[in-house]
């Protein structure tokens, strides 16, 4: 096999030539590997578009019809945003000066040229090919984000879900802080050191997440919205969790269990201890006060387990300790078409003078759309919170590890070009 490959190389037969061999067994191996889960789509090293017509058909099947000006404008928007993202998010200042955008990309007139340049095997156009491949990877992530239905309802989701949570929060009468630090539902009261809200995930942050998790699509991003509760001691977290369940902030059958991360609570041992203490209390060996004190002092420290390790985020520090999970809430958003129809109906009532309800409207056009929207809920004790803010488990360190992985995945060989190599390239 190696001898055959060497003979082909000596004859100057490239992979591009081999792909043009007219045989039913000319297998697109890269595509096979992506579909079968052997590799992810971002690991593809090259494309195979030889003509404008071939590229046009592919783009049309991907949803971009170049005969439609709106589609062209969308493509150009993603194209420009991708270049900006690479230069100002992924590149350092020194890299921006060294790895200039090739003039062929700056002066591109047809979106198909991007695919054709990404398919080139000309050694003098390798730098151009790597740039085009990097741009296409980022464009794919941005297009997933742009066409996500969740972003269009995030304002309604934030207002409705946060309102439900804030209904059980109130300011402490013993604190000068303006933020709510008491969580209360019926007779249960939990004192909180802090409540932090994630009101929206930035566009750049979402694109980075999609690129650093190549198996993810935008619908797999669950932390557009979030809330973090910080208590003083970890043994208060079970009581807070119980309160949120009773208040229907956490609805167990709407928790996305595969997203749960738990490095704080171990319920197996406390469950056994509680059952034993309950038996002692029921037979009179323990008084009610002794029972309450022993329950309060139970250890809930989590033990590292394989399941938790499998679910842990690759870029999260091993020092990051929290209980976090994702729960979906049903959100209802107004239907714009219904609002227009309602306005027209009201105008008709004024002209006719007939005041009556129109029950047929709801049957023709629904008044609201209903969607399940996820929110990430985190719980931490004060020690874990300070570690997450200022220690090795800080969010800044997490983002640095994430950016490093995205640079490797998107830029890869582009960053290996030395100044000497660049002089050999047609840019």
**pLDDT tops 50 at residue 371:** yes
Which of 17-31, 40-54, 152-166, 179-193: highest mean pLDDT?
152-166
**pLDDT tops 80 at residue 237:** yes
The Cα–Cα gap between 226 and 359 comes to 38
pLDDT (mean) for 183-207: 89
What pLDDT, on the 0 to 100 scale, is given for residue 306?
45
The Cβ of residue 23 has, within 10 Å, a number of other Cβ atoms equal to: 6
Type and span of the H or E element at 373:
strand 368-381
Separation of first and last alpha carbons in the chain: 36
What pLDDT, on the 0 to 100 scale, is given for residue 248?
93
3-class secondary-structure state, position 146: helix
3-class secondary-structure state, position 416: helix
Q: How confident is the model at residue 357 (pLDDT cuts 50, 70, 90)?
A: low
pLDDT (mean) for 205-227: 78
Q: How confident is the model at residue 17 (pLDDT cuts 50, 70, 90)?
A: very low
Tokens standing for residue 227: 């809330």
pLDDT (mean) for 353-382: 79
pTM of the prediction?
Answer: 0.74
Which of 82-86, 98-102, 296-300, 332-336: highest mean pLDDT?
82-86
Closest alpha carbon to 197 in 234, 229, 151: 229
Longest Cα pair distance anywhere in the chain, in angstroms?
93
What pLDDT, on the 0 to 100 scale, is given for residue 314?
53
Beta bridge partners of 328: 374
Q: Label residue 248 left, alpha or beta by phi (over 0 means left) and psi (-120 to 50 means alpha).
A: left
Closest alpha carbon to 264 in 303, 227, 309: 303
What pLDDT, on the 0 to 100 scale, is given for residue 18?
46
Predicted confidence (pLDDT) per residue in 92-103, tens digit: 999 998 899 999
What pLDDT, on the 0 to 100 scale, is given for residue 217?
61
**pLDDT tops 70 at residue 146:** yes
Q: How confident is the model at residue 224 (pLDDT cuts 50, 70, 90)?
A: confident
What pLDDT, on the 0 to 100 scale, is given for residue 15?
46
**pLDDT tops 50 at residue 319:** yes
Predicted confidence (pLDDT) per residue in 243-283, tens digit: 999 999 999 999 988 889 898 888 888 888 888 888 888 88
pLDDT (mean) for 320-347: 85
pLDDT (mean) for 16-43: 69
Q: How confident is the model at residue 13 (pLDDT cuts 50, 70, 90)?
A: very low
Predicted confidence (pLDDT) per residue in 393-424, tens digit: 567 777 888 888 889 888 878 888 877 677 77
Report the chain's mean pLDDT, rounded to a whole number. Answer: 81
Report which DSSP code applies to 280: H
Predicted confidence (pLDDT) per residue in 118-136, tens digit: 988 888 888 999 999 999 9
The Cα–Cα gap between 209 and 89 comes to 13
Report which DSSP code applies to 232: S
What pLDDT, on the 0 to 100 scale, is given for residue 391?
66
pLDDT (mean) for 65-73: 93
Pairing, β 194-198 against β 368-381 = unpaired
Which of 40-49, 138-147, 342-351: highest mean pLDDT?
138-147
**pLDDT tops 80 at residue 2:** no
Percent share of the chain, pLDDT over 70: 81
Tokens standing for residue 101: 């955008």
Q: How confident is the model at residue 9 (pLDDT cuts 50, 70, 90)?
A: very low
On whether the CB atoms of residues 324 and 260 are closer than 8 A, the answer is: yes
């Amino acid at each position: 096999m190696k001898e055959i490959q060497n003979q082909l190389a000596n004859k100057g037969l490239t992979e591009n030539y081999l792909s043009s061999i007219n045989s039913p067994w000319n297998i697109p191996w890269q595509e096979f590997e992506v579909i079968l889960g052997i590799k992810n789509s971002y690991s593809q090293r090259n494309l195979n578009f030889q003509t404008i017509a071939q590229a046009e058909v592919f783009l049309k099947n991907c949803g971009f019809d170049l005969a439609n000006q709106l589609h062209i404008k969308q493509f150009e928007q993603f194209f420009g945003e991708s270049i900006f993202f690479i230069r100002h998010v992924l590149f350092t200042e020194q890299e921006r000066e060294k790895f200039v955008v090739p003039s062929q990309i700056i002066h591109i007139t047809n979106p198909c040229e991007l695919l054709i340049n990404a398919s080139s095997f000309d050694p003098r156009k390798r730098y151009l090919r790597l740039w085009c491949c990097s741009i296409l990877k980022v464009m794919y992530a941005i297009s997933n984000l742009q066409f996500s239905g969740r972003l269009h309802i995030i304002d309604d989701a934030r207002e409705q879900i946060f309102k439900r949570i804030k209904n059980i929060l109130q300011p402490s009468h013993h604190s000068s802080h303006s933020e709510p630090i008491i969580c209360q539902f019926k007779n249960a009261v939990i004192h909180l050191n802090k409540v932090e809200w994630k009101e929206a995930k930035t566009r750049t942050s979402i694109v980075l997440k999609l690129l650093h998790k190549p198996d993810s699509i935008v619908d797999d991003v669950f932390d557009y919205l979030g809330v973090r509760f910080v208590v003083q001691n970890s043994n208060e977290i079970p009581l807070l969790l119980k309160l949120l369940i009773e208040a229907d902030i956490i609805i167990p059958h709407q928790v996305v269990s595969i997203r749960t991360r738990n490095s704080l609570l171990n319920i197996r041992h406390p469950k056994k201890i509680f059952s034993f203490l309950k038996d002692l209390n029921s037979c009179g060996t323990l008084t009610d006060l002794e029972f309450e004190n022993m329950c309060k002092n139970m250890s809930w420290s989590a033990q590292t387990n394989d399941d938790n390790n499998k679910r842990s985020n690759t870029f999260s520090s091993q020092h990051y300790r929290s209980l976090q999970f994702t729960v979906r809430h049903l959100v209802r958003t107004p239907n714009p078409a219904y609002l227009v129809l309602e306005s027209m109906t009201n105008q008709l009532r004024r002209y006719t003078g007939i005041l009556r309800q129109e029950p047929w409207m709801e049957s023709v056009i629904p008044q609201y759309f209903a969607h399940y929207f996820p929110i990430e809920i985190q719980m931490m004790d004060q020690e874990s919170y300070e570690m997450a803010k200022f220690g090795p488990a800080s969010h800044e360190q997490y983002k640095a590890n994430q950016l490093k992985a995205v640079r490797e995945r998107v830029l890869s060989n582009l960053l290996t070009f030395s100044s000497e190599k660049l002089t050999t390239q047609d840019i």
